Chain A
Amino acid sequence: MEEQQVGSLHFQIDFSQPLYEQILDQARSAIAKGEIALGEKMPSVRELAQELRINPNTVMRAYQELERDGLTEKRRGQGTFVTSSADNVASFRTALAAKYIDSFMEQMENLGLSWEDIEKYVRGKKDSGTGGDGL
């Protein structure tokens, strides 16, 4: 699986997984992390489809979803841009973080761990320096 750079975005497409979700997830995370700046122009549907060698309809569907997320906006005749609203990106990131935490908590509870145990694991992970990128 090779990494492909398209404008400010980079993608790693695995043809053994549904393509739509990969494009959507990778673009969402690039915007949430600020890899592509607020107000910056997104690659056109055509450009992305050409670089990734995939059906433009698949790219278009992912772009529509990004717009519904409030992460991008279409400007008439100019293409798609990352939202210029830091609030939109922040609230999307918060919502996504909440979703990840819910599923993490559910998995931990399925292991029969108490909140104290979970806290201890998370702290231990943070102290050993392997967790996250210092957020």
Chain B
Amino acid sequence: MIPNIVECHQVTKRYGQKIALDRLELAIPAGRITGILGPNGCGKSTLFRTLTGMVRPDEGRVEVLGKTPGWRTNQSIAYLPDRARWYPNHTARQALEWGNSFLPGFSMERAIQLADEMEIDLDMRVGGMSKGQEARIMLILCLARDVDLVVLDEPFTGIDVMSREAIVASLIDFLEESEQSILISTHDIQEVEGLFDYTVMLKEGRAIWSGNSEDLRAEYGSLRNVFRKLYAKEWND
């Protein structure tokens, strides 16, 4: 197994005048659950799109699973994007069947089990779902896959408390059973900071801190406090 699941050297990505990633240096060890933390616009989603080959950096070198991101590496990555795209007339079951047909390593059996745990009615139409139900289906599409890397972009955002709890609970079960590496980005770490065993703090396209979450706690206190301090400026804007 490769030591680092993600490596970035001097990675820069600009959108016009705006710098999304600014000479980013980053190494994320394999087999961990890593929290990519930072406020909106700090570069989290751009980083994830870079790892899945949807965005090519202007400068620098990116490696995921030891290779340059592309369709080959994507077969081994389950990616939950920050926005969903659905056929509104599909039922939950059809959405999962779509996953079963098109996503490498997908297990329909596992998906149905997850749907049961997360209280998703398989006959419900996707078009009529709440944001929280939609988020749960998206998560199932990722967690039902036997792949090396799971990438979840803001899985907790804008959803109800029940869905949030269901998602955290299934992530904990998932972590217990699997050896996969997981990256989760979030700008809201309340109630989830205990999940991350590795932490990356992004600010303005750079990693301002990365390391073992336990070391961060020993040195600075709770992730939530560190987060508040580091991003005080954005918080007050």
A residues sitting closer than 8 Å to B (CB atoms) are: 13-20, 45-46, 49-50, 52-58
Contacts and interface: CB of A to CB of B under 8 A. Distances in A.
A55 B195 contact: yes
A15 B194 contact: yes
Interface residues of B, number: 22
A9 to B, nearest CB: 17
20 contacts: A13-B194, A15-B193, A15-B194, A15-B224, A16-B225, A17-B218, A18-B218, A19-B194, A19-B217, A45-B176, A46-B176, A53-B172, A53-B192, A53-B195, A54-B195, A55-B194, A55-B197, A56-B175, A56-B176, A57-B197
Contacts of B33: 55
Given A17-B217, A19-B217, A46 B172 contact: yes
Contact of B175 (A13, A15, A57): A57
Contacts, number: 56
**Chain B interface SS verdict (over half):** helix
Interface of B: 33, 168-169, 172-173, 175-176, 191-197, 214, 217-218, 221-225
Nearest to A56: B176
A13 B192 CA distance: 13
A70 to B, nearest CB: 25
Contacts of A57: 175, 197
